[in-house]
Chain A
Amino acid sequence: MIGCKARFVIVGVAVILISALATIQFQHGLVIVAMLPISQTEAEAKVVDAYLAIYEADIAGAEEVKLRDLSSKLNGALNMTREAQDLERQGRSAEASNLLGKATVACDETIAQARLLREEASRQSFYNRVIAFALAPTLALLATVGLHFGYRWWRRREIEQIFRMEIRLREKSQE
């Protein structure tokens, strides 16, 4: 028989272990996920999620070079799921599961990178819009000031020319 104290100790240790595992899961989720057996359907669903993450980053205006990197990583994961399917057909379930785990890890990494890329692209896109629309009144003001002083300068020159003509006429008449 286990005493009351021992029970508390066991429960306590279990709680500590579970919370430690939960922390690892939270911080290094990919590692734990990779250790669990993954089905073909789950891996395919992950691939779709990763694709959608890349698509959203693309729509947000992410750079083509970075998108190309992410898509090639995802295509690698797609190839792994296909290879896993072949292995499963050959009855090599353990290898198939291992490959699916790797594919899932690649998908998770892709999702995380695509989300960062989307945020970065959204921020950049927002700044570009703000700058573009803030530039409009600034340029308009510069144009107004330029035209105002240009017009004044032109008017003064015109008046000066008229005065000079009048002076010349008077000088001629005096002669």
Chain B
Amino acid sequence: MIRFTEDLKRSILIFVSATMIFSMLAYVSVTPRPREQFFQIYVLGETKMAERYYPNNDPNIPVGARVRWYLGATNFMGSTRYAVLKVKLSNSTIDPPNEKDKLPSPSPVLTEYHRVLINNETWQFPLAWKIDSVVKVADYYYLSQLTINERNVQPQLVYAKNGYNYRIIIELWTLDPVDKHLIFGWGTGTERKVAWLQIWFNATLPRSS
């Protein structure tokens, strides 16, 4: 029979307790802390501030007037992500993105920008655009051609009465690393979140001489 002296019993107790404490510390040190996962998107005006979104601060944008914005996105997802910013042309009657059902706007896409962002990385780039031509049909206008970042874009028909209440919608899409498909917004485990922005403007015809 092994006889446990008081000293041995005490030492075993200390050893077991210390092992448990140090194992817990080891587990905490090698396990990453759960953090809130999210994306941030923004649009800045021509001064790179949240102001002066229109030429001369006038939302009535004539044909040929150059509008300069800065689009940005920051990845706080805790890992590298593939982000896409879709720029859409819309009016007051087309549905905006649906945050409840996580549905994108059915408005036509003007252009889209893709980028791989590592964690905590911010991506900012200029978005310079102008209306090249507007067509008037009765009281309705539609933008037949735009130039976005030196690329000509002919959008699908989006009408606005007298050119009022057009809007540019910017949606954030990400590539789901599990499904390998682009999704509107982003997924954090079982949860889906979306981010989008819009800026309203009115299109005006060139003044007849």
Contact = CB atoms under 8 A, between A and B. Distances in A.
Interface of A: 47-48, 51-52, 54-55, 58-59, 64, 67-68, 71, 74-75, 78, 82, 86, 128-129, 132-133, 135-137, 139-141, 143-144, 147-148, 151-152
Interface string B14-44: 1100110111011001100000000000000
9 shortest interchain CB distances as A-B pairs: A140-B18, A136-B22, A132-B26, A140-B19, A144-B15, A136-B23, A58-B80, A143-B18, A71-B116
Contact of A144 (B11, B117, B177): B11
A140 to B, nearest CB: 4
A85 to B, nearest CB: 10
Given A128-B30, A135-B22, A135-B26, A71 B117 contact: yes
B115 interface: yes
B118 A136 contact: no
A14 B115 CA distance: 45
B57 interface: no
Contacts of A152: 7
Contacts of B22: 135-137, 139-140
Nearest to B8: A148
B15 A141 contact: yes
Interface of B: 7, 10-11, 14-15, 18-19, 21-23, 25-26, 29-30, 79-82, 114-119, 121, 151, 175, 177, 180
B84 to A, nearest CB: 10
A54 B11 contact: no
Nearest to B117: A71
Nearest to A137: B19
B21 to A, nearest CB: 8
B209 to A, nearest CB: 34
28 contacts: A52-B177, A52-B180, A54-B80, A55-B81, A64-B118, A67-B80, A71-B121, A75-B115, A78-B114, A128-B30, A129-B30, A132-B29, A132-B30, A135-B22, A135-B26, A136-B19, A136-B22, A136-B25, A137-B22, A140-B15, A140-B19, A143-B14, A143-B15, A144-B11, A144-B15, A147-B14, A148-B10, A152-B7
Given A51-B175, A52-B180, A141-B15, 12 more contacts: A51-B80, A64-B119, A67-B118, A71-B116, A71-B121, A78-B114, A78-B115, A128-B30, A140-B18, A144-B15, A144-B18, A147-B14
Given A128-B30, A141-B15, A151 B79 contact: no
A144 B14 contact: yes
A128 B32 CA distance: 13
B26 A71 contact: no
Contacts of B118: 58, 64, 67-68, 71
A133 B23 contact: yes
Contacts of B116: 51, 54, 71, 74-75, 78
A139 to B, nearest CB: 5
A148 B19 contact: no
Nearest to A44: B114
Contacts of B11: 144, 147-148
Nearest to A45: B180
A136 B27 CA distance: 10
Contacts of B114: 47, 78, 82
A48 B116 CA distance: 10
